């Protein structure tokens, strides 16, 4: 009768004359570290998602016009927020009437002395095109023209058939001017001209109320002086 001490592994019967065989330990195929890595990755991803959510929430909580400073390389074209004054429709209508009158008056004078068919046709065509242009263009331009000034840049959208988008980084602004013609003075309007170090020329914001134009020029001047940059 065989005896075994406590804690020893049990022996198994073997064939006569052969060495006793012992049970083999099972190899561990699972890794303890792998779940830890996965859990740490999950914790890291959760931290990143929480940070991103917190950043977006803080951005939404900021008041309008207060944004973080960004480099000029991150500025992108986008639709400006503010419309020009509605009085600009009257201004553009008067300018169109004056322009077409310059063309129609000489033709009307010529018709007094000679009424050839081609002169009549030219005068009628000028009258039709001028009337359509005077009625459509001012309202179309009012729908298109927009502007916006932020601590980083000035955004403008102008035109009607041909539309132009402009961005003037504050760090590149050289001068800010206001201009008022006779009709603008009559209607209480002004044009703000932002001169930048750009080959495309200055940025014009036309059709602003005079008080808004003065306030915008003052704000842009103060922001430009407080913003470091190379306006050359």
d(CA 154, CA 81): 11
Residue 16: inside a domain: no
The tokens describing 129, both together, are: 């095109």
Q: How many domains does the chain have?
A: 2
pLDDT by position in tens, the chain (length 232):
444 444 444 444 444 454 454 455 554 444 444 444 444 444 545 555 554 454 444 434 333 333 333 444 456 777 899 999 999 999 999 999 999 999 999 999 999 888 889 999 999 999 999 999 999 999 999 999 999 999 999 999 999 999 999 999 999 999 999 999 999 999 999 999 999 988 888 999 999 999 999 999 999 999 888 877 666 5
The tokens describing 79, both together, are: 């639709």
User: What order do you get walking across the sheet with 82-83 strand by strand?
Assistant: 82-83, 146-149, 153-159, 163-169
The tokens describing 66, both together, are: 């207060």
Whether residues 128 and 176 fall in one domain:
no
Residue 59: inside a domain: no
Q: Could you give the 3-state DSSP secondary structure of residue 197? A: coil
Let me know: does 84 contact 91? Beta carbons within 8 Å. no
Whether residues 137 and 170 fall in one domain:
no
The tokens describing 200, both together, are: 């495309």
Cα three-residue angle 152-157-159, rounded to 5 degrees: 155
Whether residues 132 and 194 fall in one domain:
no
Whether residues 154 and 113 fall in one domain:
no
Domain of residue 163, residue span: 146-226
Of 155, 154, 138, 157, the C-alpha closest to 146 is: 157
Residue 155: inside a domain: yes
Residue 164 φ then ψ, to 5°:
-125, 125
Whether residues 156 and 197 fall in one domain:
yes
Whether residues 107 and 164 fall in one domain:
no
């Amino acid at each position: 009768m065989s005896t075994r001490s406590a804690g020893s592994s049990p022996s198994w019967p073997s064939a006569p004359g052969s060495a006793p065989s012992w049970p083999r330990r099972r190899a561990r195929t699972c890794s303890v570290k792998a779940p830890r890595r996965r859990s740490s990755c999950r914790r890291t991803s959760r931290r990143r998602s929480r940070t991103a959510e917190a950043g977006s929430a803080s951005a939404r909580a900021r008041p309008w016009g207060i944004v973080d400073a960004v480099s000029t390389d991150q500025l992108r074209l986008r639709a400006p927020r503010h419309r020009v004054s509605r009085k600009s429709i009257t201004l553009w209508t008067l300018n169109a009437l004056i322009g077409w009158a310059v063309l129609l008056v000489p033709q009307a004078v010529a018709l007094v002395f000679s009424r050839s068919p081609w002169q009549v046709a030219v005068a009628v065509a000028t009258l039709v095109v001028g009337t359509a242009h005077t009625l459509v263009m001012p309202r179309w331009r009012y729908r298109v023209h927009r502007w916006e000034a932020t601590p980083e840049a000035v955004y403008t959208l102008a035109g009607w058939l041909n539309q132009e988008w402009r961005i003037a980084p504050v760090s590149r602004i050289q001068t800010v001017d206001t201009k008022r013609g006779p009709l603008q003075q009559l209607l209480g309007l002004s044009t703000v001209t932002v001169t930048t170090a750009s080959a495309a020329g200055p940025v014009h914001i036309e059709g602003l109320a005079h008080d808004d134009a003065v306030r915008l020029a003052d704000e842009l001047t103060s922001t430009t002086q407080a913003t470091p940059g190379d306006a050359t």
